[in-house]
Chains A and B, each alone.
Chain A
Amino acid sequence: MPIEVNGKTLETDEEGYLVNLDDWEPAVAEVMAKEDDLELTDEHWEIINFLREYYEEYQIAPAVRVLTKAVGKRLGKEKGNSKYLYGLFPYGPGKQACRYAGLPKPTGCV
């Protein structure tokens, strides 16, 4: 099911993840969030941007603990936990935030 972003048609897989990671632009996240009835705030963008930076360096999404630790360092210790992240991304920070960030879905025993 393709999505329309800024007049372009982008291919996504069965679960709504971008097929071509290079297709990503900030508007992709906005469009996907809108479909989930979610409004992206600066807090969401902090996470999305971190995921993209990490992926750029390591070619994989960060582990939950790596993510919470980084969030704690950047946004304050009280935010460095899964509860905060689930508050922002109710379908799971790993999966939902990765999708908005244009990353492939982390799959395995997770």
Chain B
Amino acid sequence: MAKVNIEVPEITGTTEVPKIKPDTMAHLETFRAKPEFMEALGFPGEMPENWKEKAIEAMGDLLKKYRSFQVFLDACVKCGACTDKCHYFLGTSDPKNMPVARQDLLRKVYRRYFTLAGRFFPKLVGAVDLTEEVLHDWYNYYHQCSQCRRCSVFCPYGIDTAEISMAAREIMDRIGVGDKYSNEIIGKVHRIGNNLGLPEPALADTLEGLEEDVYDDTGVKVRYPLDEKGAEILLVTPSADFFAEPHVDGLMGYGKVFHEAGVSWTLSSYASEAANFGMFIGSYENMRKVALRIRKAALDLGVKRIVFGECGHAWRVAYAFLNTLAGPFDFLDPNYPVPQHICEFTWDLIQQGKLNLDPSANDDMVVTFHDSCNVARATRMGDKPGGQFEIPRNVIKAVCNNYVDMPNGTIREATFCCGGGGGLLTDDLMELRVKGAKPRMDALKSVSDEHGVTHMAAICAICKSQFTKVIPYYGFEMDQIVSVHQLVSNAIILTGQNEGGDEEETEEEAA
């Protein structure tokens, strides 16, 4: 397992549009899922002999199911507005990573088999037969899209490349061609309940350790309960929060917030995962099966509310699809959002003055915030437009004295993907991940140089893992990435906390 030699792009603080270099990423083919993992998700283990017919049949099925898919394939006028918007194109220079070119890999086959002109005059309309080479391109380049939807913000027709890339992955899965990373992980959720495969005893042991640590630190018995029936709130959070750093520091923060709110809460070992990779592979059936675990856990535990931890695409699935996937949630308390984001929960408490915060605890940092793509472009928080941008920033500003935004055009709805989203957070795609992070690294460098930013906070498990792994390639340190609730955890003064001397109460406004 020699370390991959990656030509790391130089960062300057601004992202220039590169000259195209055809096929620079054509070699990058992520590992294929083994037959047993394909079959566990309801897909064929191997490619059938008539795979071409099956693929066209699958495409036809998706065209019927999702009108949007057909509209997106029909509507493109090749205006070029999307071409320089993809972080993977900007980082790799490979023209097939331009969103329109990525879409065209599927579009040209659609035209050949589903449009009159393409059936009779394929050359005139750029229609091609489905061949092994085309399938190879599909596999490679639809696994070089993180489904971040930045391009769709700039498309005058609103064409959503993510939906096309999800459909492409679904078509490939249906002919036995799936990627190892996502499909193995979904299998683990179906079997064990979370992406990492943490069984109940390991979760219990980890949570007990956190209780000890918080007690050692503060002298306050903050609980991290698991499978407690009758709790008011079920917290559903990415399993990385139990496992990795800085994720776990965020989880410790959620627990402190619940403790101070005085509400009872619990995690579930059955639904110990907020992430839903069923979305990444475009499989409605798998996405639904994963989401139904949350419903079952909520019913079994008898909770009244569901709160989601810091996870980007999980919040999209939760905010946009949970009710249709696994609803109705009429058994939950209608006085609260169903479901609620942990940032909404914490911000409510801050506004009510229920948290005793000392932002000077984070005075060793100058913080910026990375908007995670799924949160930014597919969801909302709170009851005002743009709440998904404001609420996390409000929380950070309430717990940190030093906050600076990265440049416009790289944040909010125009945010750049971390480079590891959409089911690409795997070591065999490290070259893509490093290069795809370039636009975000440019933006981070610019605020580091100009405003002395030292830390970047995020509310997505994938973003946090991706950045801790790739920022060292750009000369930053891995611990410059922090969880938003890690900052909250640092600043919160628990009731009865054994801090030396009386801490000044600071009802903090924006820095």
A45 to chain B, nearest CB (A): 20
> Nearest chain B CB to A73's CB is how many angstroms away?
11
Stretch from B80-88, B116-124, B195-203, B399-407 contacting the other chain:
B195-203
Are B240 and A64 touching (Cβ within 8 A)?
no
Q: Knowing that A60-B196, A64-B244 are A-B contacts, what are 12 other residue pairs whose CB atoms are under 8 Å apart, sorted by A's residue number?
A: A57-B201, A59-B202, A63-B243, A65-B213, A65-B245, A66-B206, A66-B209, A69-B209, A107-B184, A109-B195, A109-B244, A110-B461
Bits for B1-41, please: 1 = Cβ < 8 Å to A, else 0: 11100000000000000000000000000010000000000
Contact present for A60 and B197 (CB under 8 Å)? yes
> CB distance B198 to A60 under 8 Å?
yes
**Cα–Cα, bound, A59→B196 (Å):** 11
User: A2 to nearest B CB, angstroms?
Assistant: 14
- Please give me the residue from chain A that is nearest to B463 by CB atom: A109
Complex CA–CA separation, A16 to B3 (angstroms): 12
Known: A14-B428, A66-B205. A106 touches B248 (CB 8 A): no
Question: How far is it, in angstroms, between the C-alpha of A36 and the C-alpha of B1 when the chains are bound?
Answer: 7
CB-CB under 8 A from A62, the residues of chain B are 202
CA A82 – CA B249 in complex, angstroms?
14
Beta-carbon contact of A107 and B195 below 8 Å: yes
> What is the interface of chain B, defined by CB distance below 8 A to chain A?
1-3, 31, 180-181, 184-185, 188, 194-199, 201-202, 205-206, 209-210, 213, 238-240, 242-245, 248, 275, 311, 425-428, 461-462, 465, 479
Give residues in A with beta carbon < 8 Å to B.
Answer: 14-16, 35-36, 57-60, 62-66, 69, 82, 91, 94-96, 99, 106-110
CA distance A110 to B464 in the complex (A): 8
- Per CB-CB distance, the 6 closest pairs between chain A and chain B, nearest first, are A108-B195, A109-B461, A108-B196, A58-B202, A109-B240, A63-B243
Mostly helix, strand, loop or mixed at chain B's interface?
A: helix
Give the chain A neighbours of B181 by CB distance below 8 A: 107
Residues in A whose Cβ lies below 8 Å from that of B425: 109
Give Cα distance in the complex from A95 to B245, angstroms. 14
Residues of A with C-beta under 8 A to B245: 64-65, 82
Q: Give A95 to B428 CA distance when docked, in angstroms.
A: 13
Q: Do B243 and A110 touch (CB < 8 A)?
A: yes
- Give me 17 A-to-B residue pairs in the complex whose CB atoms sit less than 8 angstroms apart, sorted by A's number: A14-B31, A15-B31, A58-B199, A58-B201, A59-B202, A63-B202, A63-B248, A64-B243, A65-B210, A91-B1, A94-B244, A108-B185, A108-B240, A108-B275, A109-B195, A109-B275, A109-B465
